[in-house]
Amino acid sequence: MAEDKKYTTVSIPTPLFEKIQQKIKDTGFTSVSDYVTFVLREILAHSNDNEAFSEEDEKKVKERLKSLGYLD
């Protein structure tokens, strides 16, 4: 199936694999792969891939830097 090609393999240490296997026992996760994918997606969702500062944040930081004397 074409969809199968959307997956690839990454290596993780066997002890870690086993630890995860234990952890997901009796949970909604059916496989280590499902769990690992979920955790990685969660972490990536929190990372900021665009500009470092939003417009509002930049304004906030600029004001702070001004009050600290760095921007005169």
Side chain identity, residue 3: E
- Per CB under 8 A, contacts with another protein among 17-46 are 42-43, 46
Among 3, 4, 55, 72, binds another protein (CB under 8 A): 72
Q: How many helices (H) and strands (E) does the chain have?
A: 3, 0
| 46 HSE (CA, 13 A, CB side) | 5
The nearest distance, CB 69 to another protein, in angstroms, is 5
Judged by the rule CB under 8 A, the positions of this chain that interact with another protein are 42-43, 46-48, 52-53, 57-58, 60-62, 64-72
